[in-house]
A and B are shown apart, each in its own frame.
Chain A
Amino acid sequence: MIHRFRRIRDFDWPLLGMVLLMSVISVLEIYSATMHTRFVGFDHKQVLWIVAGLGAMFFVSVVDYHWLLDSIHWFYGVALLSLAAVLVAGQRIMGAKRWIRLPGGIHFQPSEWVKIVLILAMARYIAGLSGREMTWKDVFKAILLIAAPMVMVLKQPDMGTALTYSPILFAGLFLGGIGWKKGLILTVVSVSLVAGIWRSGKILKPYQKARLTSFMNPGADPRGSGYQILQSKIAVGDGGVFGRGTTKGSQTQGDFLPIPYTDFIFAAFAEEHGFVGCIFVLLLYFLILMRLIHNAQIASDLPGTLVVMGVVATLTFEIAVNVGMVVGLMPVTGIPLPLMSYGGSSVLFTFLALGMVMNVRMSRFVN
């Protein structure tokens, strides 16, 4: 199961370098955003999570992903079981059951690692179609593959994480060669479905709906969900061209910005480092994503390409939704910014996903 022919030389060192640079920025901003709150010291914890993530990444990169793909139905089953376990025996924190309490007081959020399983499962499924044009039946099977865990996560309720499963589906269908006509029909149907759910007003929780309306009209409720968006926009705008400087942002330090170390870390960063700093970070994200697509191109086989592209789709989606929320282009969904936000589950997922990419890359000369 572990290949002897893999070489350390084939590891993607430039990618690792960019990821580590991003992690350093993340730790510095978490330090700055928490130093005057009761969450002081989260930067140290984040370093530990990153170290653990690196360990997981190196471990995953040496396990042959073909073995993972061959046994994916087992992982998929375990993923569904762990989501069911959360619903039955999860820890209820602030109204939502998202965590399982493990011995040693660690709170574990299964919905994050399920993403890895879904990326692999989708890659395996699409590759198994052997390149033929997808039929409607194939499309519905792909939808079901993602919808089952998605519904369970929505039940927790955790709309943000559930949404992050959707890019895996879209990437799978798009790269799996769905016809343009089917693609168009599917887009029209899903858009009208979302509109229907919104208008029926039954499926969305009131707070979810409030977040969406306040996104459209932030002035409506200055202290509720709209407050978060408004404060985020003020913080970003306050940054100007060059920013207020590390630990000098009045909105970040004055506690006006909500949770400036997780969901709104980019707003804190934007206030303290300005437009210049933000462009630098976005450019870094762009280079990382392009490097990932490069790895997808040089992958030795179709499943490898699909795995890497699944990772690309998930990261792109999370970056788009999070930064979009911070600058007021997207509603508040509670999706963390990969490689920036504080949080063990998010860090571990990102590094595991990068480990999968490394794995695919290192397999390309093996055969």
Chain B
Amino acid sequence: MALLREEKLPSIRLTISQIVIAVILLVLTFGLWRLQIVGAQNYHAMAEANRIRKVPILAPRGEIFDRDGRLIVTNYQSVSCYLARDQKGDLKPDLPLIAKGLNMTVEQIQQIMHRYRWTPSYEPIPLQQDITPNEQQFIAAHSDELPELETIREWRRLYPRNGFLAAAIGYVGQVSNRMLNDPQFAYYQPGDVVGESGVEESYDPILRGVDGAREILVNSRGQEVGVLGTKPAKPGKNLKLTIDLDIQRAAENAMGNRDGAVIALDPHNGQILALVSRPTFDPNDFAVRISSKEWTSLVTNPDHPLLDKAIQATSAPGSTFKIIMAVAGLQTGIAQNMKVDCKGGAYFYGRWFACDVKHGWVTLKTAIPYSCDTYFYTLAQRLGIDTIAKWAHRFGIGERTGVDLPGEVAGTMPSPAWKMKTFHQPWYPGETISIGIGQGAIAVTPLQLARAIGGIASGGVLKRPHIVFRNELTPEYRKYMRAEYPGSGNKVVHFSKQTWETITNAMANVTQEPIGTAYSSRLAGIDFAGKTGTAQVISHNFGMDKLSSNMATRPNAWFVGLAPRRNPDIVVVVFWQHGGWGNDVAHIAAQVIDAYVTKQRRLDHNLLADQPAGESAKKGANETSKLDVGAIWSIPSDPRELGGKPLDPNAGKDASAAAVYAGHFLLRVPDFVRK
């Protein structure tokens, strides 16, 4: 070692170090002496006076509007009861009386107190939210005996009734213990309301406001001695969805009570125009408090009402997949001159694969409107599974689209490599034949299918679907969303103009020619095109076995509809779980497309606001920009039915609140829509 080991430090410097340390510790001792001996009386008094009570001022969440600026989700004020635990030494003797007055049980109150046991005692804890006028009266009448009870006006979420748009909007709830313990969400406090599904979740950072607080100084007996400061609440930002309420309403009505999903997209830009999932739930049940019984019934329901089936249910696409098969067939040069004699099925690898009927000699032009399985069995055999999988992947089958909604699933595009990796089994040639008609292990979401088929009709331009206008977001937030909700996003798939025309014409023949499988759903005067599909529900149909309850063996019905046939303005996918072989499924899509086209035509003629002319003349100038469209929401005869919860009786003073009180919604229609 090169260092001089014998070298020693001059010991004078070590002695100086000792002196320095001694001086530092003496200075610290002096600091302690100053506080603890000299100032003890003074600081002891300050400690006694040191009681700061925080009275929260709650921020309303941002409102949610549709693409035309019509209100979808709003807030209303309600009164909540808080417990100020530092107001009394022992709360136990009061609990039975509090419980009686607030219609709770003593155990419930004890549970709440246990949950908030780490919250500083000078911060009031929420006891009962959204209390009734009777309960308010009780608190006012007992203010002397029960000084620990406080009332606070809070904002509550008000959603459309009957689960209208519920899957897309989502719901809010109290922040969970899991999130409270995650350093990523360090800014949450117990009792905070957060979005837990849908847009409420994915755009929670935008919708959520910042709570304010009034900080008052109280002495050791809890008497207010001064106001330290008021921090006003910052309301959350409003959000404008790409959803069109008119189209959404048509889709909700058309779907009725059928299980499944409807999704309508604008393929030009990926904007989601309508999103329906069935069965649905009422988010108002979550807005205040949901009883554990209601919650259990929702999560254990075999039909999964909390699932957004447009992005979370997967099923084999059935014959709708034939569109992708046709692109692959034409682009590889096989389908152009391929003719197949359909004898009601054909033998492949020693097994009979059936078709619906004997179609006779079929070309691609007729195979799509007939939905002839024999033709596509043959095409699949000649393409081979790898080519099929390659083209399917190009159109995003088996991949997340990257939509800005939480919980999107990817689905599956099977291939020999996939099967080996997942099941450690070799690929059987017969599986390729099934894939040719969209059966077997292939699984897609309705949204995925809408983007793929809409993209094909748009000449191979696939857009990332989204439900909030991009230009409403900051660049940082867009970046955050792309990272949080990954997916294949925007894609361009190249294929020839001839392929494009052939396929879109064939899809038009499905609905516009008598030979088509959906001819009965044709729309007069609208260039409506599409493709039907039926997915057999069989044992290895991934995902579906988890979803199905009864009728588990009835096939799932699909329809992809678009208008016009080339460069469509709207693509609609209807997924009817266990819908069988009927033609109704195309009819649902037709109703949505009809609503869209009708609205466009009305807009072209400034006819959107269809209310009696005299009505608007009577009202004031700013009143005319509001439309009462309570029809979307069923009107409850008793205000308490609204969300199942009572409303603040003072709310009636405000005009819009009065409408809410009556169960109506005033949809704010901006001027540019009307004139």
Number of B residues, CB within 8 Å of A: 52
Query: Considering only CB atoms, which chain A residue lies closest to B16 in the complex?
Result: A174
A25-42 near B? 1/0 per residue, CB < 8 Å: 000000000001110100
In the complex, what residues of B have CB within 8 A of residue A235's CB? 47
- A38-B118, A274-B36 in contact; A324/B46 too (CB < 8 A)? no
CA distance A231 to B43 in the complex (A): 10
Q: Does B4 contact A (CB under 8 A)?
A: yes
CA distance A241 to B36 in the complex (A): 6
Query: Considering only CB atoms, which chain A residue lies closest to B28 in the complex?
Result: A323
Enumerate B23-46 residues with CB–CB distance to A below 8 Å: 24-25, 27-29, 31-37, 39-40, 42-44, 46
CB <8 Å contact, A329 and B21: no
Enumerate A167-217 residues with CB–CB distance to B below 8 Å: 171, 174-175, 177
CA distance A6 to B502 in the complex (A): 88
CA distance A38 to B119 in the complex (A): 8
CB <8 Å contact, B28 and A327: yes
In the complex, what residues of A have CB within 8 A of residue B43's CB? 233-234, 236-238
Q: Does A251 contact B (CB under 8 A)?
A: yes
For the complex formed, measure the closest distance between the CB of A230 and the CB atoms of chain B, giving whole angstroms: 8
CB <8 Å contact, A301 and B3: yes
CB <8 Å contact, A320 and B24: yes
CB <8 Å contact, B14 and A297: yes
For the complex formed, measure the closest distance between the CB of A295 and the CB atoms of chain B, giving whole angstroms: 11
Interface secondary structure of A, over-half rule: helix
CB <8 Å contact, A240 and B5: no
CB <8 Å contact, B36 and A303: no
Which of A70, A306, A320: most chain B CB closer than 10 A? A320
Q: Does B13 contact A (CB under 8 A)?
A: yes
Q: Does A127 contact B (CB under 8 A)?
A: yes
Q: Does A152 contact B (CB under 8 A)?
A: no
Q: Give the contacting residue for B32; candidates A174, A278, A309; CB below 8 A.
A: A278
CB <8 Å contact, B29 and A237: no
In the complex, what residues of A have CB within 8 A of residue B121's CB? 254-255
Q: Does A345 contact B (CB under 8 A)?
A: no
For the complex formed, measure the closest distance between the CB of A228 and the CB atoms of chain B, giving whole angstroms: 13
Interface secondary structure of B, over-half rule: helix
Q: Does A338 contact B (CB under 8 A)?
A: no
Query: Considering only CB atoms, which chain A residue lies closest to B15 in the complex?
Result: A293
CB <8 Å contact, A275 and B37: yes
In the complex, what residues of B have CB within 8 A of residue A223's CB? 215, 228-229
In the complex, what residues of A have CB within 8 A of residue B4's CB? 127, 130-131, 301-302
Enumerate A274-324 residues with CB–CB distance to B below 8 Å: 274-275, 278-279, 282, 285-286, 289-290, 293, 296-297, 300-303, 305-306, 309, 312-313, 316, 319-320, 323-324
For the complex formed, measure the closest distance between the CB of A132 and the CB atoms of chain B, giving whole angstroms: 10
In the complex, what residues of B have CB within 8 A of residue A313's CB? 17
In the complex, what residues of B have CB within 8 A of residue A320's CB? 24, 28
Q: Does B120 contact A (CB under 8 A)?
A: yes
In the complex, what residues of B have CB within 8 A of residue A241's CB? 36-37, 40
CB <8 Å contact, B28 and A130: no
Enumerate B1-22 residues with CB–CB distance to A below 8 Å: 1-11, 13-14, 16-18, 20-22
Q: Does A250 contact B (CB under 8 A)?
A: yes
CB <8 Å contact, B31 and A69: no
Q: Does B186 contact A (CB under 8 A)?
A: yes
CB <8 Å contact, B21 and A301: no
CB <8 Å contact, B120 and A254: yes
CA distance A44 to B183 in the complex (A): 21
CA distance A331 to B34 in the complex (A): 17
Which of B9, B13, B46: most chain A CB closer than 10 A? B9
In the complex, what residues of B have CB within 8 A of residue A270's CB? 32, 35-36
Q: Give the contacting residue for A275; candidates B2, B27, B36, B118; CB below 8 A.
A: B36
In the complex, what residues of A have CB within 8 A of residue B18's CB? 290, 293
B130-160 near A? 1/0 per residue, CB < 8 Å: 0000000000000000000000000000000
CA distance A203 to B187 in the complex (A): 27
CB <8 Å contact, A324 and B28: yes
- A238-B44, A282-B28, A297-B14 in contact; A124/B36 too (CB < 8 A)? no
Q: Give the contacting residue for A329; candidates B22, B31, B228; CB below 8 A.
A: B31
Which residues of A are in contact with B by a Cβ distance under 8 Å? 36-38, 40, 66, 69-70, 93-94, 124, 127-128, 130-131, 171, 174-175, 177, 222-223, 231, 233-241, 250-251, 254-256, 270, 274-275, 278-279, 282, 285-286, 289-290, 293, 296-297, 300-303, 305-306, 309, 312-313, 316, 319-320, 323-324, 327-329, 367
Which residues of B are in contact with A by a Cβ distance under 8 Å? 1-11, 13-14, 16-18, 20-22, 24-25, 27-29, 31-37, 39-40, 42-44, 46-48, 50, 52, 117-118, 120-122, 180, 183, 186, 215, 228-229
Instruction: List 5 extra interface pairs beyond A235-B47, A250-B48, A319-B25, CB under 8 A.
Output: A93-B183, A234-B46, A237-B46, A301-B3, A327-B31
12 sampled A-B residue pairs with Cβ under 8 A:
A130-B4, A174-B16, A175-B9, A175-B14, A278-B36, A279-B29, A282-B29, A286-B21, A297-B14, A301-B5, A301-B7, A316-B21
